[in-house]
Each structure stands twice: as structure tokens, then as C-alpha cells.
Amino acid sequence: MNLRIGVVGAGGFGRAIAQASARHGHEVVVWSRKDRELLDPIQTSTDIRSIRDCELIFMAVPARHAIEAAEQLGEVVDGRHLMVHISRGLIGPELRTITKVIAEKTVCRRLGALAGPLVADALAEGRPSGAILGTGFPELTEMVRDALGGSELRVYDTPDVVGVELASATVGFLTVVLAYAEEVGVGPSTLAVLATRGMVEVSRIGQTLGAEESTFMGLAGLGDLIAAVAGDERPEIRLGRALAKGATLSNAVGEAGAYIEGIEVAAQMMEHARRLGLETPISSTFVALSQGRISSDDAIHALMERRVGRE
Amino acid sequence: MLKRFLSERPLRLPHLKPYVPRPSDPSIFWFNSERDDVISDVVNRICAAHETDRARLEMALNDAAFHEIRRLEKQRDQEARDRLGYWRSMIRRIGKMDDTEQRRVLHTIVTNMARDIAGNFDPRVYRFARLAAPRLIGGVMEPRRFTEGLMAGSPASLDRVLRVQGDLDHLRNLQNRGSLVFVPTHSSNLDSIVLSQALETSGLPPVIYGAGKNLFTNPIISFFMHNLGAYRVDRRIQVSLYKRVLKLYSQVMIERGYHSLFFPGGTRSRSGMIDRHLKLGLLGSAVGAFTANRVRRVDRPVWFVPTTINYALVLEAETLVKDWLTEEGQARYIIEDDEFSRIDRWFAFFRKMVGMRGGCIIRFGEPIDPFGNAVDTEGQSLTPTGRSIDAGGYVEHRGKAVVDAARDAAYTRELGEVLAQRFQKETLLMSTQVVAHVLFRDFVQSTPGMDLFARMRLRGEIGVDSETLCRELGEARERLLALERQGRVRTSEVVKEDSPEELLERALSFWNGYHDSTAATRQGDRIVIGDPSLLLYYQNRLVPFAPDIASPEQLKAACEIELLGGHQ
């Protein structure tokens, strides 16, 4: 079927989605705050009303702009629209997910979250890749497969929307942790322990927010983490390495060259876990490390000294 | 025998002259003329869904026979003696039946189920109940004024006890434009009675609702329920087909414009906490009704009215909390031997309530469409910034309204979440609940490291200085009022206006003399916890707000209390 697709945000992912959709023969309009010029036949606009006639909308903005973008979309969308976001962050200490924000600010209800080992370049160029779509609406899955899929992208789906969003947000933070550890010389065995126990830690918190454990162990969680450490050159890797070399957090963020939501997510998770009386050894140690309160040796020592239990 | 007869065939009054409804009558007055049509609509739709798929049809028949045999073998009563043979013989024959025979059997089973579920509405019984109910309840509350009450209109005692809040004009505006579905919190078997009374006094229409078949065993309650539009739900029947018939019956009634009432919590809150994990079956039937009307281009929208029923004293509190605290509680869905079935407890309860102003407050929240949006006075759905939208768009696929069960199930899940949030915002915290929470928090703080069940055994051992308690009560109330200003919670007028000392005395007075054991008593300058489980029951209403109304020193105990609510 031929769809009219709207993309909100003209960053790396926004442009990649527009290119992939146009390549599959769909009509695409990209909205951004600044004037942009994209390859023909992709239309661009700075007027949010240009999105109104689209059936499927992709919201591709960082989490910190999600509220503003959702408020603007709220002025033009209605019950007919289907919407997917690709943000990797969470909002506020209560770990509000982006779909919750969209549901609060707009009347759009057929929502989904696209995540997993999806990389903008691969999507734009049509290289084989995979992703996971969290949505309760099978018709939305069908539309996203039509828009982006084909033989190049395998889009799996799950009804565990909150799980996909939480897993996706926490993978960013775990990627920074692993890059840091690798840079300070931690061996493969310790890296594996950090990765798996880190995933268990975030999934435990995720479950308190209604997520399913299995989602963290699938494409949205472990799958995405494997892609990150296998070398798809994410900014989180650069951030972790810079921190390990002794850079301050602000300098390391500058060196990474992109806004990284993982650090904020770790602090928000710690606050949430503290309220519930849950232990978050890896997140807490990493936050202390990134703030320069402890050294890397202290961090490893503190984690290794902890009581060992059943997996 | 009589009990069974009444539960099988509820009494109806003879019809000498058929009642012809007037145009101004509420929609339910038309029900009896449509009853057979509704039943055949339900039967036809179920049978049509099985018509072309023999495997599905055979599965439905096998499932029905299997579950019914299992139920009746356990029941070992007259119904078992009458029906067990039929099902045993049927299950042997299913595989040998041809398509026509299987469809005929399905038709018979579904028709019997639909007939058993469908209610009745007798305008004479309705008029009698309208006149008599408030006076009888008033009489129970104040026996000395019983005769006076019978002669007067709505007795003053009833008005004193039962208060109604909410934008009633808005609801009255909507009642003739579509179907209203009232979805209340559920604490007591009195809920449907007080809610019917609240609808009546507020000028809102009578509603149809599902009532457990166990309630039909009391001949008086059975007579009224059956003749006031209630449909019967037999929770013992586990047959999938029965659940489909029940949901479809509800859907067809809503499609046809009958206002409805569901308790989405499914059963009375055993813990006293605000209903949070809602059952979606009947909610889904209302969403399905919206879709079905849109697909058929019938302009009859459906709106939900989140409603909270708030008691300062709960008739069945002791049984409910005991049930929650015991493992047995997990399995006991229907309680038949609680305070609701004891008339002496009714008298004691109402007498206690009438002595206190505003002991029961029903709050009708703002109506919402099936997709969680606010609606204006015309019933038009609104965006968060107040723009009107056509709710029909939600059931369109590429510009056309279509039936999509998976989509509607997803909408229903989201509606359940919206309603749970609305319950939290629309619940009125009552004096007994606020006092219980502050006292329970002190209890938790003074017993660190102890688990809930160990605490429940500490009867009459823990006390708090009355002056300290009143100071903490005042501080907690101030924090609650700050939350109320943010729109996160509501408190009763008594909580807002009374001094902490008055609040404490009021709570003690409510508890003492009604429950068999007391939550707390005054012993000199100290308030001593009597039955911690009762205290727990009343305080549980405040579980979601515990950390927000605690001081830094109380935060640890408050977080422990918050965990009682479990995670999301």
C-alpha cells in the first residue's frame, strides 16, 4: 500500500526514516524547526500542519525535546493517526516513557516505540538490519513494516511497549559503562559479567514499571547492546572512553559529539530504585564514577566485593 | 429448594395491561419490548461467528461440556442432578454430530445462556423502589423516625449520610445523546444500592448492571434486582462461550443506548486500596459497542463516567481485610457469609453512619470517551488543549470505520489504565482513612524490620501519644491539601475543615461500636492500636500518596507502606 508518512525531526534518524520510506515508494514529508533541504521526492516543512494529512507519523527527536514536539503535534493530530517514536530516553525521576508523554499531550492513541539494533546509516542506505516495535496495535506493525521493511529491515513486534522503551533507554547507559570498562583495561570475562548483570539490574527496575523481563533479553535490550559494543560507533562509546581517560563529564560529553541520554537515565533510575528499596550497584557505582567521586579501581573493587548470589 | 427456585426463576409481577413507555421515560423503560430482540441478536451474532469454522464450533461445544461437567460434578446439588446427564451425553456425541446438528446444539446452548443472563424491567417496581428505598433506608438508620420518614420525601437522615459530587449537569446533558457507562470503585455490596440512590437523587438515568447470581438467592434482593434491569452473572461458570455471551449481551445493550454500570475492579477491594488492576472484559464490550455503532453509521456514542464510592465506614471491612491477609483470600472470589448477609450488621452500620455527617460520598468524575479523552457538554471529544475531534477516527483504517478486535483490545487496555488513574484522582480521602494512615505510619516506624504479618499480631501493644498524633495528623492533612491543589488527590469536607483533634475523635467514634474489634481506642492520653488489620484496611486508601505526605523522618516508613501497593 502507498502511505503518506510524516517524520517529525530532521536529525540522523529522521532523515534515515524519510529516505527508507521514500525508497519504498511512500509519500514523505519531514517537519523540522529549521529549514532543511532533503533529497527529492522527500518534502520538507517548518509548518506542523503539513503533518495533518499523514496516516503514519514517526517522531524522531531526542527525549529532551519530546514534550515540546508532542505539544506541537497535539495541535494537528486526531484519532485517525498512528504514531511511532524513536527516542532512547525517559523523562523525569518517575521515568516517564515517551509514549506516555505523547498520550498526555496529544489524542493519538495508536502508538508504538521503535528500538533495537537499528542504526541510522544502515536504515538510510538500505543495508540489512533489524528492529523491534513495541505496540499493542497490530495494524501499526503492518504499517511500519510497509513503510520501512521490505527485504532490508526485519521489524519484530511485541505488545510490551514500556519494556521496549525502558530497555532502549537503559542500553545507552550500559554502553557507556562497557566502553569505560574496556578503556580502563577490564578483560572480556568482566565485561561479560558487567553486561549481563547490568541488564538484569535495569530489567529488575523495568519490571517495577510494568515491563517484562524477556523484553530486556531480546532485541530492545541485549540485541541493541551487542550492536553497540560490536562497533557501530555510537556516541555512548566515545563518552565512556573519554571518561575513562580522565575527562570531566562535561568535557567527555563534548568529546562524544552528541547529546547522550544514558547518564540522565542512570541517575533517574537510581532515584526510582531508592524509593522502592531496590539495589542498583552498577548504576550507582557508575554515577559516582562519572561525577568523579570514586576512582575506577574503587569502582571495580566495590563491585567485586559484593555478596554473590544465585543468578 | 425455594432458594434455587428463586435464583432460577426470579419473581415477576403479573401484567394486566402492557406498559407503553412515554418519550420522556429513560431508555430502560423500553427494555421489555426489546428483550427478545436483544436475546436473538446476541444468539445470532455468536452463532454466525461459529458458522463457517467447524473446528471452532466443535471446540466451543467441547469446552462448554467439559467445564459444565466439571462444575456440576463439584456442585452435587439439584442443578447437577438435572443437567449433568445432558452434558455427559452431549460430550460423547459431539464428534459424531454433523454440521447442522452441531449448529443446532450451539444455538440451544447460547439461547439458554442469553435467557439466563438477560434481566427484566418493570416500571411499577422501579416507581415503588424510587419511593420506598430512601424511606426504608432512612427507617433503618433512624427507627424512631420510621413513620415520620415514610410520610416525608427523602429522609433527612439519608441526605446527611449520602452526598453526591461531580458535574451533574454535564452528565444530564449527555444522557440523551448516547450511552453512559458508569464505572465505579467497589468496596461493598452496598455499592450498587447507594449508587442507584445517588443516580436517582441526581436526576441521572437508571442503569443496567451485572449482578452476581449469588445475590439472587435472597428473595427480596432477587425480586428488585431482577425487575430493575440487572442481568445475572454466574461466576461459577467457566465456559468460554458463556463469557462471550455475557460480554456480547452487555455490548448489544450499550449499542442500543441503555446506560450501564460495571465494577471494573471485578470484585470488592479486599485490601481497601483504590482499585488499580481493572478487569477488561466488560469494559471491552463498551468499546466494542462504540465501534459497532460507528461501523453501522449509527450516531450513538459511548462515554465512561469514572465514579468513586467513598465510605468513612465500610460494612464488610473486617471480612474483606481478613480475606486479603489470608492465602484463602486469593481463591475466594465470592464471599457469601459476610456482614452483608447479616441484617443486624446493616442496622448497626446505618445507625453508626447516620450519627456522622457525610459518611458516604459518591463522586461522579468528568466523563471520557472510550479513548480516554474529555468530552464537552455536546459529547464531542476534546484534545488536551480543548480542540474538538471526531472520536470515530479511532476506529478507522485508511479512512473507513472497521471492526478490528485486536485494535479494540489495545484501546480497552489503555482505557483500563486511564480509569485506574482517574480513580486515584477522584477518590475522596475520608477522615477514618487519613487518621488510620497517620497512626499506621507511626506503627510501622515504631516496629522497624518487622513484617506485615508479625505486625498484625500486635493487638493492643502499640500506642501513640494523642498530642503527637494530632500534630502529625495536622501536618499530613496540610500535605494532602497541597496535593489536592495540584489536582492529584481529593479530600472530604470533613478532612478539610475539622481540626486534627476532631478528626481523631470522629475516626475513633466511627470504629468503636460497629466493628467486632476496634481499629484503635483512647486510653488516657494515648491512642492504642486494637486490631492492626482494620487499621491497615482503612489506611490502605492512602498507599499511593504515602511518601508525598510524610516528613523526612517518616519517609522510610511511608516508603514501606507504599510498597504494600506492589509495583505497576
Judge contact between B217 and B7, C-beta under 8 A.
Answer: yes
Amino acid at B492: S
Q: Which residue among B389, B396, B559 sits closest to A107, beta carbon to beta carbon?
A: B389
In this predicted structure, the answer to whether residue B243 has a pLDDT above a threshold of 90 is yes
Domain limit, last residue, from A140, A159, A178:
A159
- Do residues A204 and A232 share a domain? yes
Find cell 540489512 and name the residue: A128
Q: Which residues of B278-300 are buried (b: 16+ CB within 10 A; e: fewer)?
A: bebbbbbbbbbbbbbbbbeeeeb
pLDDT at B329: 47
d(CA B158, CA B139): 9
Identify the CATH number of the domain in which residue A295 sits: 1.10.1040.10
Q: How far is B555 from chain A (nearest CA, A)?
A: 9
Same domain, A166 and A280: yes
Q: Supply the pLDDT for residue B438.
A: 97
Query: DSSP states of A64-126 as a string?
Result: GGHHHHHHHHHTT--TT-EEEE-----BTTTTB-HHHHHHHHSS--EEEEEESS--HHHHHHT
Q: Are residues A290 and A171 in the same domain?
A: yes
- % of chain B at pLDDT higher than 70: 85
**How close, in Å, is residue B165 to chain A by CA atoms?**
26
Which pLDDT value is given to residue B147?
53
Interchain contact, B389 vs A105, CB within 8 Å:
no
- Report chain B's terminal Cα–Cα distance, integer Å: 46
Whether A275 and chain B come into contact, CB under 8 Å, resolves to yes
Find out whether A16 and A120 touch, Cβ atoms under 8 Å. Answer: yes
pLDDT band at B340; cut points 50, 70, 90 = low
Domain tally, chain A: 2
The mean pLDDT of chain A is 90
| Integer Cα distance of B200 and B41 in angstroms | 30
Least confident of A246-260, B12-26, B44-58, B363-377: B12-26
pLDDT at B402: 96
Per-residue pLDDT, averaged over B258-286, amounts to 90
Q: Which residues of B touch A (CB under 8 A)?
A: 371-373, 381, 383-385, 387, 389-394, 396-399, 404, 406-407, 409-411, 413-414, 547, 559-560, 562-563, 567-568
Answer with the residue of higher pLDDT: B212 or A75: A75
**Is A310 within a domain?**
no
Query: What b/e string do you get for B119-150 counting C-beta neighbours within 10 Å, with b at 16 or more?
Result: bbbbbebbeebeeebbbbbbbbbbeebeeebe
Residues A105 and A93 in one domain: yes
- Domain shared by A40 and A94, yes or no: yes
Q: Is the pLDDT of residue A245 over 70?
A: yes
For A135, name the nearest residue in chain B, comparing CA atoms only.
B410
Residues A62 and A124 in one domain: yes
Inter-chain CB proximity A209 and B568 less than 8 Å: yes
A23 lies in some domain: yes
Give the pLDDT mean for B446-474.
91
A136 and B568 within 8 Å at the Cβ level: the answer is no
pLDDT of residue B213: 75
Q: Residue A70's closest chain B neighbor by CA? A: B384
Residues from chain B that touch A55, judged by Cβ atoms under 8 A, are 398
Domain boundary among A137, A159, A181: A159
pLDDT single digits (tens) B357-405: 668 899 999 999 999 999 999 999 999 999 999 999 999 998 999 999 9
Q: Measured between CA atoms, how close is A51 to chain B, in angstroms?
A: 16
Hey, are the CB atoms on A276 and B567 less than 8 Å from each other? yes
State whether A89 and A78 are in the same domain: yes
Which amino acid, one-letter code, is at B33? S
Residues B563, A277: C-beta atoms closer than 8 Å: yes
For B566, the closest chain A residue by CA position comes to A208
A309 is a domain residue? no
Q: How far is B79 from chain A (nearest CA, A)?
A: 42
- Any domain includes A311: no
Residue A71, φ and ψ in degrees, nearest 5: -65, -40
Cα A265 from Cα A276, distance rounded (Å): 17
Do A182 and A121 lie in one domain? The reply is: no
pLDDT in tens, B484-503: 999 999 999 999 999 999 99
Hey, is A148 helix, strand or coil? helix
Question: Residue B547 is nearest to which of A79, A135, A275, comparing CB atoms?
Answer: A275
Is A294 within a domain? yes
- pLDDT confidence tier of residue A70, bands split at 50, 70 and 90: very high
- For the segment B534-560, the average pLDDT, to the nearest whole number, is 93
Same domain for A145 and A36: yes
Determine which of A87-91, A152-156, B167-171 has the lowest per-residue pLDDT on average: A87-91
Closest CA to B536 of B264, B229, B314, B257: B314
Cell of A169: 533507554
pLDDT in the model for residue B475: 96
pLDDT > 50? residue A84: yes
| pLDDT band at A115; cut points 50, 70, 90 | very high
Q: What is the CATH number of the domain that holds A49?
A: 3.40.50.720
Helix axes A161-183, A281-290, angle to 10 degrees: 50
The chain B residue lying nearest A109, using CA atoms, is B371
* Predicted confidence (pLDDT) per residue in B140-169, tens digit: 545 455 455 545 545 556 666 788 999 999
* Domain termination site, one of A129, A159, A189: A159
Q: What is the pLDDT of residue B223?
A: 77
Chain B interface includes A49 (CB < 8 A): no
**A14/A130 same-domain check:** yes
Q: Which residue of B has its CA nearest to A1?
A: B398
Same domain, yes or no: A219 and A199: yes
The domain in which residue A290 lies consists of 162-304
Partner B contacted by A75 (CB < 8 A): yes
Phi, psi at residue B370, to the nearest 5°? -65, -5
Contact A75 B384 (CB under 8 A): no
pLDDT number for residue A25: 93
pLDDT of residue A148 exceeding 70, the answer is yes
DSSP B544: G
pLDDT tens digits, residue range B174-203?
998 999 999 999 998 888 888 988 998 899
Q: Is B407 in contact with A138 (Cβ distance < 8 A)?
A: yes
Q: Check pLDDT > 80 for residue B307.
A: yes
Residues of A in contact with B394 (CB under 8 A): 79-80, 109-110
CA distance B384 to chain A (A): 6
Displacement of CA B30 from its chain's centroid (Å): 25
- pLDDT score, position B177: 93
Residue to mutate among A53, A80, A99, with most B CBs inside 10 A, is A80
In a domain, A95, yes or no: yes
Give me B444's grid cell.
510501622
pLDDT of amino acid B296? 95
Interfacial A residues in 182-241 facing B (CB < 8 Å)? 207-210
Same structural domain, A153 and A45: yes
Do the Cβ atoms of A209 and B567 come within 8 Å?
Answer: yes
Least confident segment among A55-69, B166-180, B349-363: B349-363
B424-435: average pLDDT: 96
The answer to whether the Cβ–Cβ distance between B389 and A207 falls below 8 Å is no
Q: Is B366 exposed, middle or buried (0-12, 13-18, 19+ CB in 10 A)?
A: middle
Mean pLDDT check: name the lowest of B107-111, B140-144, B206-210: B140-144
Q: What is the structure's pLDDT at B2?
A: 55
B410·A208 Cβ contact <8 A: no
Residues of chain B with Cβ-Cβ distance to A110 below 8 Å are 394, 407, 410
* Whole-number Å distance between alpha carbons of B563 and B546: 10
Mean pLDDT of chain B: 87
Closest chain A C-alpha to B106 CA, distance in angstroms: 31
Q: Which of A107, A136, A137 sits opposite B383 (nearest CB)?
A: A107
How many C-beta atoms surround the C-beta of residue B363 within 10 A? Answer: 21
Confidence at residue A301, expressed as pLDDT on a 0 to 100 scale? 79
